[in-house]
Amino acid sequence: MSGIEISVLLDKSKELDQLRKEQEEVHQEINKIHKKLQSTPETSDAILIKLRQLYCHAKDLSENEVSASNALMSQLDALLQSGLSAAQRKKIEVSEQKKKRMKSDSDIARFPPNASMRSQLEHAANQKGEQVAARVSSDDAEKDEWFIVKVINFDKDTKEFEVFDEEPGDDEESAQRKYTLPMSHIIPFPKKNDPSSAPDFPPGRHVLAVYPGTTALYKATVVNSHRKRKSDDYILEFDDDEEDGSLPQRSVPFYKVVPLPDGHRQ
């Protein structure tokens, strides 16, 4: 946070103080005329015209105060944002992403590639009630947005999932948001109680993983080479997670790590 930024902030606060002082002076003049009207009901048009002018001035000052207050809040938000840690920025980004609209399409499956289509469809149908990783952004979006969602239903005919976001965000509009997604937008998580179902990613492998403290998935790199059991957590470095010039290493449970989709955009 630089001295220049603080100086701009203080100048704007001085402007706000001056507006409030002017408002007080105008209100005092208005009150004087009100008292005069109470004591002398019969008055000239000149007094009424002056009162109207004072009201207009008070209205302008009030609107200017709102503008100055909004400018101050924007400057404060910018200063706070510049001082946030990468983890905090990720959480804010997740909240903003969930307010965006999703367009559905159809595609080929991201399920066991060596299995027959019939087996893939059966596997997809078995995901009902399970949490899965879902890409909720459209194909023409600038970047891919992946979140944890819960499967409501799978239609074998259309090969589409009906899912909903259990933790959508703070705004009412996104509460319990539902999506209809093709199989290519869904990746099942490894079973928490069955580590043998989880792939074993070696150090250096790029993966898609749930960022700690959020329900969003981001590209990350496996860095730990000492996982003795498949149930051990992965130590990951997330892309765009830089703090103090380096990437922090974050622990993520094995059941929240999946293969990085081909062509992932972030």
- Residues 177 and 101 sit within 8 Å (Cβ to Cβ): no
- Residues 50 and 33 sit within 8 Å (Cβ to Cβ): yes
Higher pLDDT, 14 or 162: 162
Three-state secondary structure string covering 72-128 = HHHHHHHHHHHCCCHHHHHHHHHHHHCCCCCCCCCCCCCCCCCCCHHHHHHHHHCCC
103 falls in which pLDDT band (50, 70, 90)? very low
Token pair, residue 112, equals: 């066991």
Token pair, residue 77, equals: 């938000």
pLDDT of residue 155: 93
Give the mean model confidence (pLDDT) for residues 149-167. 92
Q: For 200-245, what is each residue's pLDDT tens digit?
A: 899 999 999 999 999 999 999 999 867 788 888 999 999 988 877 7
d(CA 47, CA 37): 9
pLDDT of residue 112: 61
pLDDT of residue 222: 94
Q: Across-strand partners of 122?
A: none
